[in-house]
Structure 1
Amino acid sequence: MNDAPIGIFDSGVGGLTVARAVLDLLPGESILYIGDTANSPYGPKPLATVRSLAMEVMDRLVDQGVKMLVIACNSASAAVLRDARERYTIGRGLPIVEVVLPAARRAVAATHSGRIGVIGTQATVDSRAYNDALAVVPGIEIFSQACPEFVEVVENGVTTGPKVLALAHEYLSSLREHEIDTLILGCTHYPLLAGVISYVMGDKVTLVSSADETARDVYRTLIAQNLQRDPAAGPPRHRFVSTGDNEVFQRLARRFLGPEVDQVEREVRIGLPVGDAS
């Protein structure tokens, strides 16, 4: 079981920022990543639809023999975490790490004023997942802002320039007015916009990346449950699967993650056998 891959999924390529952070902390681990690009983006979809899609992808990962599941999607984490833990952790003994709680914990540790901002997709903001995660902490105020076009510009390869700067000013102006001192990047695409977000928010605002914090939780979970891969087992093996256009996915994946993405398999539809690598 220890030699099995870590199963990571997202609605598309954004979760590859989580995969990148996991590989940086755990370079000896193998990864099986599924990007449900045929149904991307999850953000505008109803929570019930996101829940159904996410459970189907996780079933696929479990059938492939992963040793843990990483929900590298804020929209899916908000929609499916309780059901996933019942089905896979309680039912199958597989640990699950998601992106909301790790980032919330880090934000609490970072804030001095107790005024925390959250940016994410409309689904993540509407779910109030971060509000719920932080509700147990006294003295914390949460200010949320949906930034739907951030995903589009990142996937188009535009992470700087006048358009991105204008979007950042538009989306972040209300958070500046609330004088937050900590901002959770509540979408795995957003770390690629950390430069412009930090520029607009100013040096006094600490950015918290859900991708980095999730990777730290993956590390802690593997150690705590004695699931780390034996270094003597040989080099790790990574697989990347897209439910949509694998060529587009591969091009974006190399931008998000790097040279580890040497090929991408295509799955025509969730639940069907994975096609030949191309």
Structure 2
Amino acid sequence: MERPIGMFDSGFGGLTVARALIDLLPAEDLVYIGDTGRYPYGSKPLDDVRDYARELAWSLVDDYDAKAVVVACNTATAAGLDELRAELPVPVVDVIRPGARALVATTTTGRVGVIGTVGTVSSGAYIRAVAEMGVPVSLASAACPGFVEFVERGQTTGDEVMVLAERLLAPIVDADVDSLLLGCTHYPFLARTIGDVMGPNVTLVSSADETAFAVRDRLDESGLLRAVAGASSVPRGRHRFASSGDIEVFRDLGGRLLGPELDQTEPWPPAAP
């Protein structure tokens, strides 16, 4: 299928999933919308986030002809995944279930943790997702307000980030977990700081790679994977990035976070034809 994979996030966090998808499926076209004009989602009412998610998802389908939609935002997944799956005419892949699967597969003690935005944690989405795995684990969770804002400013290390991390992660440290799921796609950019606070005996789990595998499997099941003639002639997919906020800021910071694929950014919503 020549149509692109569509994905959206409140800002830059979903670029971790985009990176994993580009590496796993290099022949696929990709359209990414970062809703930086309305971030952060985590502190907003879930009804508002649900409306944003519907607007972005339908834009990917209607404006960009996406063959699948990846909700690369934990808060948006928690707010409106079921509605999106019910109404969109294409497959919808989330980040919460793949992350939960990776978390329970990683633990050896059965004591696990998850951190996310206020909206994600208060929704109970990860509690339900982990329970669906049917694995007897003890789950500790904590909201981390402020983490997203640091990433969106490009500030991923330093004393300010460390002080905030030490305070917010204290309940997870006290829970003596052996595995911690970074339940927001922004958080892998803070992995060094989070890892320093949690210590060397805690494995940090990101949902990005697991989500990429889930996208591949779903496209394969639906007959939507792009056909590739041979390993020696794999074409490189086209990657488009759009932002509802400042275009130059998104291009500059997004390029530093993702890599050379993000060399230009378009405005979203797109101009009417």
TM bucket normalised to smaller: over 0.9
Q: Is the 8 A contact 1:265 1:274 kept in 2?
A: no
Deviations 1:111-134 (A, max 9, x none): 122211111111111111000111
Q: Which residue of 2 aligns with 1:117?
A: 113
Residue 191 (structure 1) aligned with residue 191 (structure 2): no
Q: Which residue of 2 aligns with 1:139?
A: 136
Q: Which residue of 2 aligns with 1:237?
A: 238
* Aligned CA-pair RMSD: 1.6
Q: Which residue of 2 aligns with 1:260?
A: 261
Percentage identity across paired residues of the two chains: 52
What letter is aligned with 1:82? D
Bigger CA drift: 208-217 or 233-242?
A: 233-242
Deviations 1:203-254 (A, max 9, x none): 2211110222211211222223332213358432111111111111111210
With the length of structure 2 as denominator, give the TM-score of the two structures: 0.93
Q: Is the 8 A contact 1:104 1:133 kept in 2?
A: yes
Residue 202 (structure 1) aligned with residue 203 (structure 2): no
SS of corresponding position for 1:144: strand
* Structure 1 pair 170–275 and aligned structure 2 pair: CA distance change class (3 A): farther
Residue 103 (structure 1) aligned with residue 104 (structure 2): no
Matched residue count: 267
Residue 250 (structure 1) aligned with residue 251 (structure 2): yes
Residue 150 (structure 1) aligned with residue 150 (structure 2): no
Q: CA deviation at 1:65?
A: 0.9
State how far apart, in whole Å, the 2-side matches of 1:158 and 1:275 are: 35
With the length of structure 1 as denominator, give the TM-score of the two structures: 0.91
* Structure 1 pair 275–192 and aligned structure 2 pair: CA distance change class (3 A): farther
Bigger CA drift: 118-127 or 195-204?
A: 195-204
State how far apart, in whole Å, the 2-side matches of 1:224 and 1:206 are: 31
Residue 214 (structure 1) aligned with residue 232 (structure 2): no
Unpaired stretches in structure 1, ≥5 consecutive residues: none
Q: Which residue of 1 aligns with 2:37?
A: 38
Residue 77 (structure 1) aligned with residue 73 (structure 2): no
Unpaired stretches in structure 2, ≥5 consecutive residues: none
Q: CA deviation at 1:76?
A: 0.2
Deviations 1:54-101 (A, max 9, x none): 00110100112111110000000001110011011xxx2x11111100
What letter is aligned with 1:52? D
Residue 61 (structure 1) aligned with residue 57 (structure 2): no
Q: Is the 8 A contact 2:37 2:244 kept in 1?
A: yes
Q: Is the 8 A contact 2:102 2:207 kept in 1?
A: no
Q: CA deviation at 1:147?
A: 0.9
Q: Is the 8 A contact 1:12 1:35 kept in 2?
A: yes
Q: Is the 8 A contact 1:265 1:275 kept in 2?
A: no
